[in-house]
Structure 1
């Protein structure tokens, strides 16, 4: 019995060291955060703050600096790299639908400002805000980071494939 436990324990250590995880619930569930981070993110215990995500389409690139270390930002980073499409929404933001909803438990809402990249939980999309006039705090709008780009740059992301990938981690 002791030998069987030793072998089982050793196998668990090997799987843990290899980065294997056991899925919890269906693939579309937001009840568990992936323990795997993209290249450049050392581990789930690493802070997401300071990570730079680049959104690129053709010759246009918009860099976002992740400013929050919460379950939503870590889950977003775990999905990268991604190919997305960006579209205009309501004359206030450029949005992109993610392939699945992100974990939102224990992630605070926000009062978005121009230049924010947010995650809108009910729709499962990210948004590059450029006109937040009249938009207030919402528990459903989770701040991911900030970008330094113009509306023209954001517009050039529309209409084609946009690659989102980590280019730097603090």
Structure 2
């Protein structure tokens, strides 16, 4: 809990305590008259955040994309809001399609969280998330594509163009292979 939250909670508890301890207008009412219930405030502190070692590892996690007898493994290279959001959604199924002879893409709905995730200069073998379109992309021909704040690097993969072509289509399964 933040200091501000604790202060607000303490102030609310003190206010309720003062109201409940004050003189009741019902004290002078006739015997047997109904008494309104008093408000009770129970404050339950949040559990402390898990230490970094106890949280699931993000950097170095391996995500497997599988379809039609082909497996492409992606090693997550950075711990960012976008990679954490992707890992939290797995397992899932996507449809992978060709885009412009440069990459295989899949749209995610809703899009991944991107605030606080750095842009990148994609290279062949990068799995990226393109913020404006909300899609994952397996780059296999990134020649001439430069740095963009809109292109977030998720990890790297090793696969041939033929493997990516076989992976393309409906029903690609995406899951965490290891963390």
Alignment deviations for residues 1-58 of structure 1 (CA, whole Å, 9 cap, x no partner) = 78x55x4417x55xx99xxxxxxxxxxxxxxxxxxxxxxxx97x44410000000002
Aligned to 2:21: none
Structure 1 position 130, deviation (Å): 0.1
Structure 1 unaligned runs (5+)? 18-41
SS state at 1:142 partner: strand
Structure 2 unaligned runs (5+)? 1-12, 18-39
What is the root-mean-square deviation in Å for CA atoms of aligned residues?
2.3
List 4+ stretches of structure 1 deviating above 6 A: none
SS state at 2:170 partner: coil
TM-score by length of structure 1 reads 0.75
Q: Which has the larger radius of gyration?
A: 2
Equivalenced residues, count: 140
SS state at 2:169 partner: coil
Structure 1 position 105, deviation (Å): 1.2
Alignment equivalent of 1:164, drawn from 158, 162, 174: 174
Q: Which structure shows the higher helix fraction?
A: 2
Aligned to 2:68: 58
Aligned to 2:144: 134
Structure 2: distance between partners of 1:50 and 1:123: 26
Aligned to 1:149: 159
Structure 1: distance between partners of 2:141 and 2:70: 21
